[in-house]
Amino acid sequence: MTTRKTRAPGKSPSSTKTVAANAAWGGRFAVGPAEIMQRINASLDVDKRLYAQDIAGSLAHCAMLVKRRIIPRQDGAAIARGLAKIRLEIERGHFPFRIEHEDIHLNIEARLAELIGPSAGRLHTARSRNDQVATDFRLWVRDAIDRLDRETAALQAALIQQAERHAATIMPGFTHLQVGQPVTFGHHLLAYVEMLGRDRGRFNDARGRLNESPLGAGALAGTSFPIDRAMTAKALGFDRPAANSLDAVSDRDFALEFLAAAAIAGMHLSRFAEEIILWVSEPFRFVRLSDAYTTGSSMMPQKRNPDAAELVRAKAGKLIGALTGLLVVMKGLPLAYAKDMQEDKATVFDAADTLSLCLAAMTGIVKDMKADKTAMRRVAASGFSTATDLADFLVRHLQLPFRQAHHVTGALVARAEALGCDLADLPLGEMQRVEKRITRAIYKVLTVEQSVASRKSLGGTAPTNVTRAAASARQRFLPKGR
């Protein structure tokens, strides 16, 4: 192995360091890389998370090579034993990771050579690191999607449980953060169940498209060996081999789709976190959180801060930034592979970790929160929130066109505001000054309870609807027994 002397950063020219040429491509190069080149080129600290997928891909590739009689059976058996030992070493924390081997793939290959000798070199027959990395990364993202799906379902389960408990708990429904109409707390929570269901759908769609195997595409042009790509695809749980070798090694759409789904999911969690933050504030006091999901102040001893929700809100920015970052990396790359694409995994790994943490935090918050029904109802009854019910009454009972009913109701709201009372407290005589045909029956529709009970249209907030909707959500979104 050839070496060369390089100057270490910050050292005088007389200070030298010997750097070995990379074993994977050293035959073409007379000397090894500069130390800074080795540092910028290495990805081991990031991609060692791919070890399980890399070993699985190598085992499938090895089995195919043996079956196709491309490598001897005894070499294949030795490779399989060596890979199994390497997996145990990594899982038990005994694996000798070496930065000079650049990435997880070369670290495993080098260790395999130490364990079984020259036979290890046969494993890379008909394979490039380009299709190897693309295969490993797809397997990892697929596993991450499956894990996140379970975690999102757990949050849905917590929301559904609270929705069932609060199917008839009245709270204000807002538009423009102004009181609009009364709704139920259960109905509000089920809105997030639907959002999370779409998030799971997006991840599942991405999973379906990524489930093609790049293995066997080689560096970019395929291989002259008589390989069986369908065999390795099936062994690794892929639906089929990728159709085009150039596309197979250069495609990162699956990573971008994953990040897009994660960014949208993070946005949904951020919206919910913002509502939690509002709800626990003193002006609202709709819900309470225990010590488990709040923090205190170093100066103000009375404070209980919703830091978990605030951090979820903030971390949505990381997820959105991850998508933007990888889009910028990929936007100018010609086919097929370029080293720029090494930057894909850190972005995706961090996004997966971030979203997983946010899902866990929000699941804990939902299970922990306690609704203050009195505070919710008080605000729900404010702001003339039953004005729409009054307008609907005028349409149904007086046969007014809705626009005219809307105008009459607006005048009644203005009168109630001038007198400093709610619509339910506005005297009948005052109402009849605006519309003489109004009868005392109007007061039956002006309570918040009657308002929510009347909203029985599909998707409406009536407690009976909410109970049915929660049961339907369980059936649609949750595995049996959850």
CB atoms within 10 A of CB 336: 19
Q: Which DSSP state fits 124?
A: G
Catalytically active residues are 176, 297
Burial zone of 157 (CB within 10 Å; 0-12 exposed, 13-18 middle, 19+ buried): buried
**The two structure tokens encoding residue 355:** 């979203």
CA distance 388 to 352: 44
3-state secondary structure of 171: strand
Return the exposure string of 105-119: e unless at least 16 CB atoms fall within 10 Å of the residue's CB, then b: bbbbbbbbbebbeeb
Question: Do the Cβ atoms of 124 and 109 come closer than 8 Å?
Answer: yes
DSSP H helical ranges for 280-343? 307-330
CB atoms within 10 A of CB 10: 6
Question: Do the Cβ atoms of 337 and 251 come closer than 8 Å?
Answer: no
Residues ≥6 apart with Cβ < 8 Å to 154:
359, 363, 482
Question: Do the Cβ atoms of 183 and 210 come closer than 8 Å?
Answer: no
Residues ≥6 apart with Cβ < 8 Å to 190:
159, 160, 163, 466, 469, 470, 473
> 4 phi and psi, to 5 degrees?
-145, 160
3-state secondary structure of 141: helix
